[in-house]
Amino acid sequence: MSRALVNSVVKGSLWLGGLYSYLPRGVQQAFSAPLGGLLYWLASPRRLVVKRNLSLCFPALTESQQLALARRFFRNVTRAFFDLFQLWRVDKVALKQLVELENLEFFENAKETFRKEGRPVIVFAPHFIGLDAGGARLQLEDQLVCLYSNQALPAIDAWIYKGRSRFNQPMLISRREGIGPLVRALKRGVTAHFSPDMDLGPRGAEFVPFFGVPAATQPSIIRLAHLTNATVLPMVTLLTPRGYRARFYEPLLFPKEESLAQGLERIHAFIEARIGEAPDQYLWAHRRFKTRPEGLEPVYPPKRRRK
């Protein structure tokens, strides 16, 4: 199938997804469970990644418990995906009803600190599956700058870009442009929405334990905090029965006298604690441990090459 034909099929699917978003919430959620079960079986490469991640991070769970957790993850990630059609369509009032924002005073205090002391704000948003819901809600409070990864299919890329660009003229910077534009915007006082908890390869990474497993982790958020004297404010967005809950937490501090690895260990400790509250809502489909320290065997099966 040609790329143009695939892109046309995707456009049609996105149009159908838009219609789906007009269904009542109860009907949408009733559909998401069987669709998530179907995705569990169809997305076999990702299913293997999820199972492997869960076995590494939760070795105390039995195989049946890990399997049940994997199934719940696929149901949740399916619901979160279809929710995007609604999150990226509704008006401000409906968005506020759909995504509850807790501990907003932490964010307001951080912005006040910028006005008084010139310290910009970095919102650290780990990769829970409600990430985009929290980002959409935060756009109603302030202008944001964030990095994004270009998608292979133009239709998907355009859909995501449009969905993330709805309110307060956010600055979406492709990773291909590097981090320079983000730093300049941050210094001007634009709030950065930053999600660095992914394996982006060995270059510049520190190997820091994540659930006891060495994980290649970019210290970019700590370097940014040191460079700009920014306040790093965690925000985690979780699914709820009614929609989403985006919650701010107390700022993370990164003294310049401590090592990057020490700072990253505290970041991982924070993420692990939040995963403990909702273990089926972290992005387990990401190959978090694909980059391995020298001498250690790969933990994932090799990707199949397309013919």
* pLDDT value for 9: 63
* pLDDT value for 6: 55
Q: What's the whole-number mean pLDDT along residues 18-28?
A: 82
Number of domains making up the chain: 1
Compute the distance between CA of residue 133 and CA of residue 80 in angstroms, rounded to an integer: 8
Q: What's the whole-number mean pLDDT along residues 57-79?
A: 96
10 Å Cβ neighbour count for 112? 10
Q: pLDDT tens-digit profile of 207-245?
A: 999 999 999 999 999 999 999 999 999 999 999 988 999
Confidence of residue 178 (pLDDT cuts 50, 70, 90): confident
Confidence of residue 306 (pLDDT cuts 50, 70, 90): low
* Helix extents (H) in 216-302: 220-228, 260-277
Q: pLDDT tens-digit profile of 99-111?
A: 999 999 999 999 9
Report whether 7 contacts 153 (CB < 8 A): yes
166: in domain: yes
With a pLDDT cut of 90, the percent of the chain lying above it is 72
Q: What's the whole-number mean pLDDT along residues 130-141?
A: 96
What are the phi and psi torsion angles at 239 (to 5°)?
Answer: -65, 145
Q: Tell whether the model's pLDDT for residue 7 goes beyond 70.
A: no
282: in domain: no
Q: pLDDT tens-digit profile of 29-55?
A: 788 888 888 888 988 899 999 999 999
Q: pLDDT tens-digit profile of 87-99?
A: 999 999 999 999 9
Q: What's the whole-number mean pLDDT along residues 256-278?
A: 96
10 Å Cβ neighbour count for 173? 18
Q: Which of these, 255, 250, 256, 259, lies nearest to 232 by C-alpha position?
A: 250
pTM of the model: 0.92
Q: pLDDT tens-digit profile of 268-285?
A: 999 999 999 999 999 999
In the predicted model, what is the mean pLDDT of the chain?
91
297: in domain: no
300: in domain: no
Q: What's the whole-number mean pLDDT along residues 157-177?
A: 89
304: in domain: no
* pLDDT value for 301: 85
Q: What angle, 0 to 180 degrees and rounded to 10, lies between the N-to-C axes of helices 63-87 and 25-42?
A: 130
294: in domain: no
Q: Which residue range(s) make up the domain with 84?
A: 3-277
293: in domain: no
Q: Tell whether the model's pLDDT for residue 307 goes beyond 70.
A: no
Chain centre distance of CA 282: 8
108: in domain: yes
Residue with tokens 């997305």: 43
Three-state secondary structure call for residue 7: helix
Q: What's the whole-number mean pLDDT along residues 124-128?
A: 97
Read out DSSP for 60-83?
A: TS-HHHHHHHHHHHHHHHHHHHHH
Tell me the C-alpha to C-alpha distance, in Å, between residue 118 and each of 46, 250, 294. Answer: 43, 19, 42
Read out DSSP for 110-125?
A: HHHHHHHH---EEEE-
- Which secondary structure element, helix H or strand E, spans residue 38, and what is its range? helix 25-42
Q: Tell whether the model's pLDDT for residue 17 goes beyond 90.
A: no
